[in-house]
Amino acid sequence: MRSRQRDLTSAPDLKHDALAGALRRHRPVYVDLKPPCNHACPAGENIQAWLDKAQAGDYEQAWRILVADNPLPAIHGRVCYHPCEDQCNRQHVDQSVGIHAVERYIGDLAIEKRWRLPTPENDTGQRVLIVGGGPSGLSAAYHLRRLGHDVEIREAGPLAGGMMHFGIPAYRLPRDVLDHEVKRIQDIGVKFVLEHPVADLREAIREGKFDAAFVAVGAHLAKRIDIPARDASGILDAVSFLKGVKNQSAPKLGRRVAVYGGGNTAIDAARVAKRLGAEEALIIYRRDRAHMPAHEFEADEALEEGVKINWLRSIRAIDESTLTVEVMALDEHGKPHPTGKTETLEADALILALGQESDTEFLRSLPGLEFGYDGTVVVDSNMMTGCRGVFAGGDMVPSERTVTVAVGHGKHAARHIDAYLRNSVYERPPPHPLATHDKLRVAYYTDARQQDERRLSGESRTSGFDEIVSSLDAAQARYEAQRCFSCGNCFECDGCLAACPEDAVIKLGHGHRYKFDYSRCTGCAVCFEQCPCYAIDLIPEPGTASATGMPHAE
């Protein structure tokens, strides 16, 4: 678009100014709204801001904006279920922006370039104990260290990362990527104490002279189920099975493997069984696909690899290698009910993937703690338990159990822990209104389809644990970032500047946007009507009513 700028040295046109004021019933204002991608991100990333830097090819600055909220971008670019993309306004035009793919590219580039996280400017002298080195514990430790606190992570296992190490297979998350991002957190001064389970948290806090604690031990205990079985030697739990694969001590499964469950862990167990040589991997799930808790893309990938799924089936009995399953039917609420009809299936091994629970025995000595019916720890809106100074997050509190949610918990808890240590209260700033699709002028954007990440074919994947998805290259990542609409926030397209018939828009210089000269503005709404991203709103002039059909933000 052509650009023009008013000569600010010229004398004011008093006659024009008076006329403009008399005619104007509405005045335009520049606004900042919250883009739906930011709103949907459980980790609280400022997605639109780092995409803006990626559009310009400034990937290091994009990474620094990204890690201000999330220290694990290369991990998230691989394992996050990207709810941001489900809410992206671009999907109403062609396809959502591939946010996870750009995040992965930036995260991998940071590893390649050895970019380092910022170290704290000052040390507060306050000590915080983190119990559990999974995604929530890592996130909390990182944010607390950046705030200047002395942080120690105690992890029961031999490696930090929690279920990211032992529950997510390498074909989804290569271990060198995980190790790099964990090491980066360690490099800013977070202390890691591995193979150190905490048996009594109260005693650990006292002995270590900690001022606060954040507990994020994850959910590593498999849920039990009572199934009559004449021979249980071929029955495994999914968590132990996946850990065994990681430790190269996986049991021999045989030719036919059945997996009981419908979550992401069940999907992973079946896909891993295929990679270990099982000719047939069969998932048994008591509901249909529409009610399956596993993410849809995970189920699609499993089917591509030859995994079979028996919907609406529930295991009733096990007799050596024979499974008796009952056919289920769903009621109007999607709840499964037995039909009385049974079938038999043959399986050399059965892997149970019916969910996990947290081991919270080490918390029992603390006063004031409450536990949910499912063993989760009850926390308030500040992520604090009933015991002052003890906070909790991740899989052990009531929430959706994903890496991204856990990382968000860690950041959220760190802010409240910091406030607690400073004898203050952290309050989130009020949110901006949401920039919904109906506010945008999508006709101003051209059609541009999403860049596809390269994938191994379904047949070739099961021959090993190589990563099945490849990263975008630099050109693809920049192209994908440039597909962002910048919903609700000015990206300096100069459209308002070029469209204004009264030269009432003043450009303030790159990065500073524009302002309106209301002495010249007639309120004609041309700027408002052409703004593609709804960064301009119209508000009534004092003493006038809002004109019919002229929307404005509340």
CA separation (Å) from 131 to 75, 128, 141, 346, 359?
Answer: 21, 10, 10, 43, 12
24 pLDDT higher than 70: yes
Indicate the SS3 state at residue 146: helix
Are residues 217 and 358 in contact, defined by beta-carbon separation less than 8 angstroms?
yes
What CATH number does domain 14-32+490-540 carry, 3.40.50.140, 3.30.70.20, 3.40.190.10, 3.30.70.60? 3.30.70.20
pLDDT mean over 20-47? 89
Are residues 337 and 245 in contact, defined by beta-carbon separation less than 8 angstroms?
no
Residues 6+ away with beta carbon under 8 Å from 344: 322, 323, 324, 325
Residue 149 CB: number of other CB atoms within 10 A?
24
439 pLDDT higher than 80: yes
Residue 6 CB: number of other CB atoms within 10 A?
16
Bridge partners, residue 152, by sequence = 129, 191
240: which 2 tokens? Answer: 């132990």
pLDDT digits (tens, 9 = 90+) for 246-283: 766 677 888 999 999 999 999 999 999 999 989 999 99
229 pLDDT higher than 80: no
pLDDT mean over 114-129? 94
52: which 2 tokens? Answer: 């803006």
13 pLDDT higher than 70: no
Residue 447: what pLDDT?
75
Kind plus residue range of the DSSP H or E element containing 395: none
More confident: 469 or 136? 136
pLDDT digits (tens, 9 = 90+) for 286-296: 999 999 999 88
CATH number belonging to domain 127-220+358-421 = 3.50.50.60
46: which 2 tokens? Answer: 């400022």
Q: Tokens 């009531």 belong to which residue?
A: 398
Return the closest-CA partner of residue 310 out of 295, 288, 331, 330.
288
Residue 544: what pLDDT?
65
416 pLDDT higher than 60: yes
Indicate the SS3 state at residue 327: strand
Give the span between the Cα atoms of 480 and 449, in whole angstroms.
Answer: 9
State the number of CA atoms in the 13 A half-sphere of 362 facing the CB: 20
Q: Tokens 């883009």 belong to which residue?
A: 35
pLDDT mean over 402-424? 96
- In the chain, % of residues over pLDDT 70: 92
107 pLDDT higher than 90: yes
Residue 348: what pLDDT?
92
Q: Tokens 């302002």 belong to which residue?
A: 515
Give the span between the Cα atoms of 20 and 541, in whole angstroms.
Answer: 12
159 pLDDT higher than 70: yes
482 pLDDT higher than 50: yes
CA separation (Å) from 420 to 23, 150, 378?
Answer: 54, 15, 18
Are residues 101 and 477 in contact, defined by beta-carbon separation less than 8 angstroms?
yes
Give the span between the Cα atoms of 262 and 274, in whole angstroms.
Answer: 17
59 pLDDT higher than 50: yes
CA 98 to chain centre: 14
CA 438 to chain centre: 25
For 244-260, letters b (16+ CB in 10 Å) and e give ebbeeebeebbebbbbb
| DSSP secondary structure string for all residues of 241-260 | HHHHHHTT-PPP--SEEEEE
Residues 6+ away with beta carbon under 8 Å from 196: 154, 155, 156
pLDDT digits (tens, 9 = 90+) for 496-542: 999 999 999 999 998 899 999 999 999 999 999 999 999 999 999 87
For 69-78, letters b (16+ CB in 10 Å) and e give bbbbbbbbbb
Specify the pairing of strand 313-319 against strand 221-222: unpaired
Kind plus residue range of the DSSP H or E element containing 284: strand 280-284
Q: Which range among 77-91, 243-257, 268-282, 430-444 shows the weakest confidence by mean pLDDT?
A: 243-257
Are residues 513 and 492 in contact, defined by beta-carbon separation less than 8 angstroms?
yes
DSSP category for residue 351 = E
Residue 457: what pLDDT?
80
What CATH number does domain 42-115+440-474 carry, 1.10.340.30, 2.40.128.90, 1.10.1060.10, 3.90.650.10? 1.10.1060.10
Q: Tokens 């009559």 belong to which residue?
A: 228
Residue 46 CB: number of other CB atoms within 10 A?
17
2 pLDDT higher than 60: no
More confident: 446 or 516? 516
Residue 375: what pLDDT?
77
State which amino acid sits at residue 527. C
Are residues 543 and 44 in contact, defined by beta-carbon separation less than 8 angstroms?
no
pLDDT mean over 72-89? 96
pLDDT mean over 364-379? 84
pLDDT mean over 19-43? 87
CATH number belonging to domain 227-345 = 3.50.50.60
Confidence of residue 22 (pLDDT cuts 50, 70, 90): low
**Same topology for domains 14-32+490-540 and 127-220+358-421, yes or no?**
no
Residue 280 CB: number of other CB atoms within 10 A?
17
Q: Which range among 3-12, 64-73, 301-310, 452-461 shows the weakest confidence by mean pLDDT?
A: 3-12
Return the closest-CA partner of residue 375 out of 395, 400, 405, 352.
395
266: which 2 tokens? Answer: 């069940």
Give the span between the Cα atoms of 499 and 1, in whole angstroms.
Answer: 9
Mean pLDDT of the chain: 88
Strands (E), 155-251: 191-193, 212-215, 221-222, 235-237
Extents of the domains making up the chain: 14-32+490-540, 42-115+440-474, 127-220+358-421, 227-345
CA 251 to chain centre: 33
Cα 360-404-170 angle, rounded to 5 deg:
90
Q: Give pTM, 2 decimals.
A: 0.88
pLDDT digits (tens, 9 = 90+) for 179-199: 999 999 999 999 999 999 998
207 pLDDT higher than 70: yes
172 pLDDT higher than 50: yes
pLDDT mean over 110-121? 94
10 pLDDT higher than 50: no
- In the chain, % of residues over pLDDT 90: 66
Bridge partners, residue 319, by sequence = 322
Confidence of residue 415 (pLDDT cuts 50, 70, 90): very high
Q: Which range among 137-146, 217-226, 414-423 shows the weakest confidence by mean pLDDT?
A: 217-226
